Structure 1
C-alpha cells in the first residue's frame, strides 16, 4: 500500500510540474520604435448607421488604456491562438440508414456532411472564433468598439474554410496592436 501511495504522490508531483510548464507564457516580442512607426494607423472615423450597429458583434476592434504595442501584440496573438483552437464541426446526418444500405448510407452521409459543413460550418466557426476572441480580450481588460465592415476589413480577416497565412495574420495583428495600444477611440464601448 505504501508503494502505491508513493507512486501516486510521485505521479501527482510530476503532473503538477507539467502543469507549471504549460502555464509559462511565451516571451514577449519586442518591437523597435521604427517598426511601430512603420505600422499605419487605420482610419476609424465613420458615421455610424443603424446597419453598422446591428453587426457590431462581427465588426469590432479592441483598445486598452496604458498598454504598449508589444503587450497588445502579444495579447492579440495569444487570444487569436486560443480562439482558433476551439474548432466547431457538427453533423446532423446519420451515418446509418437501413433503407439505403450501410455502404451507400455512409458515403452519402460523408458527402452530405461535407456539403452541410461548407454551408453552415464556416459561419459557425467564424462566430465561435469571434466569441472566444472577445472573451479572451475582455478577460485581459480590453474594451471593444464597433466599426463599419469596410474599415474593419482593412486590418482584420475572417477564417471559415481555412486559416489566413502567417504573413497576412502578422501584418493585421501589427495594425490591431497599434489600435489597441493607441489613443482612446471615439465611440461607445460595447458590451463584453
Structure 2
C-alpha cells in the first residue's frame, strides 16, 4: 500500500474517532441533563390532581386575598405547628395549587371519628332506660371526644395528601392560621366559606415563598 493511501486511511479513522467522541459527549450531556431534571422534580407524575387544573378567570383569581404570614416568633409557636401550618410548592401556578388543595380537602372531608353507638351495660341492656341512657352517653362522648378526633384526622389527611403532591409544610401561629383555614368537627363549614378559604390556601401554596425551614410531613 502506498504511503499516501495509508495517510488517507489514518485521516479517515481519526475523523471517525472524533465524530464518535462528539456523539458520546453529547449523549453523556443529555443523560446528565435528564438525570438533573429528574433529581429536581418536585412531585411525582401520578400526584397530579385527576380532576385537572381549576378553571378560574383572571378577575376571580385577582379577587383572592393573600393572608398575612409574617410574624415575630416568641418561642411558643412551634408547639402548635402540628395543628397550625400552611403548604407551599415552588414553581406551581395558582390554578394547579387550587386543584390540589380541593382534591386533598375532598379526601379529608366528612371523615368519621370512629366513635359509634355503645349499648348500656347490664342490667339495663335491652331496656328502654338503657337505650335512652346509652344514647345520651354516646352523644356526650361524641361531643367531647368525637369532634377533636375528626379535626385530627382531617389534619393528618391534608398533610399526607399535600406531602404526596410535593408541597412542603410550614408552621404558623394560630391567630394567623385561623384567618384562612378552618377545622371540621361535628359541624361542617358552609360551602361559600370553604371555597374562599381553599382559594386563599392555594394562593399561599403557589406564591408564599417562605423563609422558614420546612417542617416535613
TM superposition score normalised by structure 1: 0.81
How many residues are treated as equivalent by the alignment?
168
- Name stretches of at least 5 consecutive residues in structure 1 with no aligned partner: 1-23
Are the counterparts in 1 of residues 151 and 184 from structure 2 also a CA contact under 8 Å? yes
Provide structure 2 residue ranges, at least 5 long, that are not aligned to the other structure: 1-48
Q: 1:96: how far off?
A: 4.3
Match of 2:119 in 1: 95
- SS of 1:190's partner is coil
Which string of whole-angstrom CA distances, capped at 9 and with x for unpartnered residues, describes residues 6-37 of structure 1?
xxxxxxxxxxxxxxxxxx93343222233222
The answer as to whether partners of 1:39 and 1:175 remain within 8 angstroms in 2 is yes
Post-superposition Cα deviations, 1:93-114, rounded to whole Å, max 9, x if no partner, equal: 7414222242222221111011
Q: CA RMSD in A?
A: 1.7
| Equivalence for 2:33 | none
Q: Residue in 1 aligned with 2:179? A: 154
Which runs of structure 2 are paired with 1:71-86 in the superposition (5 Å)?
A: 71-86=96-111
Matched, 1:105 2:136: no
TM-score of the pair, normalised by structure 2? 0.73
Looking at CA atoms only, which structure, 1 or 2, has the larger radius of gyration? 2
In 1: Cα distance, 2:142 partner to 2:159 partner: 24
Contact 1:89 1:117 in 2 (8 A): no
Take 1:95 and 1:26, find their aligned partners in 2: how far apart are those partners? 43
What does residue 83 of structure 2 align with?
Answer: 58
* Offset of residue 50 of structure 1: 2.8
- Give the match for residue 165 of structure 1: 190
